[in-house]
Structure formats: structure tokens, C-alpha cells
Amino acid sequence: MIAAVRGVLPEHRYAQEELTAGLAALVGLGPEHLAVLEQVHRNAGVDQRHLALPLEAYEEVTADFGRSNDAFIEAATDLATRAVQDALDAAGLRAEDVDLLVSTTITGLAVPSLDARLMARLPLREDLRRIPIVGLGCVGGAAGVGRVHEWLAGHPDGVAVLLAVEVCSLTLQRDDTSTANLVASGLFGDGAAAVVMLGDRAADRLAPDGIRVRGSRSRLYPGTERAMGWDVGSTGLRIVLGAEVPDLVRAQVRGDVDRFLTAYSMGRPDVGWWVAHPGGPKVLDALAEALEVPPEALGVTWRSLARIGNLSSASVLHVLADTLREAPPEPGSAGVLLAMGPGFCLETVLLSAPGEAG
């Protein structure tokens, strides 16, 4: 059961045009690349984004990997603290109530992990079970909901928190004028989200009107390792973003979603609401085509993309929070939360709104 979900953003907000100009100056793009950058950023479907640091700070911070990773740890820990506390407050719970904390991130490296660093910020118990997940990227939020649900099936009195935190801006590669890097520089933003989830008995006591998680399914597509991910080098994390991603979505998602729903004696027409990761305009167009739904079925996702950009693992959780706030599902209706990420892979989660269907 999902008792609460909350997303948080850094305070530094910039219009897309400001970020385009700032990046061009930072990288020192020549005229031959500037026009391409401007066009790519206009096509990203993003109006504004939030950054962990003031724009002028990136020239110094991104000078080397060590410096940018130190900034990641500081910013990510701050965002994580806010997200977890906000979600617990919304659920009417305390940090001391949490039995399991699962964290996912892909934009920096922290050892001790971010969840451990939260122990110094929040009064979490010393016997807290912690599971840090690194490497899932954009699929991490959806996969995290599925894995926490599975843990709670064996711990019906349990209280769990899923945390997704990403500081994508600090992965900027200043010497990379590849199309993938230019696309990423116009698409990704910074932010975090946290979900409070409860086992069945805990839900009966604490959140009987929460969103029910009915099940999840994972799918990895063989031979697609270079479709999405990072190349790790001396300057940090260099984006791998293949042009084949929208085609993979068109070719694979419909069949996978249909097989997933069939296990619950359902079909796509039975789904009342879709919570999709905002992978970018081409990916969302391909997803709507694959699911055979009108664009407005993914309207909350499109609006999230415009408002804050793609936050990697945290994005689909922001979309879930926006859906519950801006477009509350009909009582008893079924929803599907889904995201794609490095692998290339797909994660689908079946949800149910509280109440009886009309």
C-alpha cells in the first residue's frame, strides 16, 4: 500500500533559454554547435528546470569528477532529507516508524550510501534495514516500488520508504559535443522523491485509503546494453543515449504491458490512469503509440516534463504525486506505473485507487 508520495526540488530554477545560454558559455561552443544546441533544447519539451547549484557555480564544480561528486553527495543528502521527511509527514508517521529504507540514484557515488548519511539527519532507528540501489537509472523509481512491495508481502506489519534522488546537472561533460550529451543537457534536471509504503496489516491500521500495489513485472531486452547508460571515465559520467530508444518502446512495450495485465485478467482498456516516466518527447510519443492511448492519457507526464524536466529515477514518482494531486483516479480504478531505463529494460507496476469502482 502507498500511504504517501512526495517530490522535492532544489531552489535554483531556470528557464530553458537561460540554461541553453549558460551551457553554451560554459562549454565554449562555437557557432557550428550553438545552433544545434539551441534547436535540441527547443525540441526537449522542457520549459524550465531546477538545479542543485546556482548556474554560475558549475564552471568550478564540474572541473573534475572528484569535485562534482563531492557536490553531488552534499546536494543529494539535502534533497533526500527533505523528500523523506515530507513523505513521512504526509503519511502521519515518524522516522522512528520506518523498518526499511530503499534508495536509488545514478548520478553520483556515495560510500557510505545516501541512506546511511540520512541517519545523521533524521531520527531513523539503528536497526533500520537499508538497501541502496545503483545502476537502474530512469527505471529506478518504478522498480523500487515493485521491490519494496515484494518485501512488504513478507512483512505485513512493516513500514518502508523508497527514496529516489538525482542530481543530473553535476554529470555535465564540458568537452563532449556529441548529440547524446547535447540532448541530455536540455532534458535532465535535479530533484528527489520519496514514497511511504505499508504492509497489509500496517495499511489497515494506518492508511486504509491508500493506493494499493497489486504487483509488478520486470523485463530486460537482450543485446540493448548500449541503448542507455553511462560511460565512466576520468571526467565522470558520460551519457550513453541511443537513437533506437523510441523504436524499442514502439516494438516492445505494447506486448509486455499486455502480458503483464493478462496475469490479472485485464487488458489495456481496463486501465483508467497511466503514470509514465517522462523520457522525452520522442519516447512519450512512442509510448502513446505503443499503448494506443490519446496524448492526454499521458498528460500529467507531459506537464511534468515541461515543468521540471527528466529527473531520472525520481521522475516517475513526481508524476505519481502529481497524478494523485491534480488528476485523482476514480475510486477503485486500475492504474499502471511504468518506466524504462538502462539495460535496456521496462518495469511495470499495477496500482488500484481506493474505494469501489462505479
- Positions annotated as catalytic residues are 138
Quick check: 311 and 321 in contact, CB under 8 A?
no
DSSP string over 22-88: HHHHHHT--HHHHHHHHHHHHTT--SEEEESS-GGGHHHHTTSHHHHHHHHHHHHHHHHHHHHHHHH
Tell me the C-alpha distance between 15 and 221, whole Å. Answer: 36
Return d(Cα 54, Cα 45) in angstroms, integer.
22
Backbone phi and psi for residue 72, each to the nearest 5 degrees, phi listed first? -60, -45
What distance in Å separates the CA atoms of residue 170 and residue 290, rounded to the nearest whole number? 33
36: left (phi over 0), alpha (psi -120 to 50) or beta: alpha
CA distances from 289 to 253, 284, 292, 320 (A): 10, 9, 5, 21
Residue 165 cell numbers, joined: 534522488
Query: What is residue 202's three-state secondary structure?
Result: helix
Establish how many alpha carbons lie within 13 A of residue 345's alpha carbon, considering only the half-sphere containing its beta carbon. 19
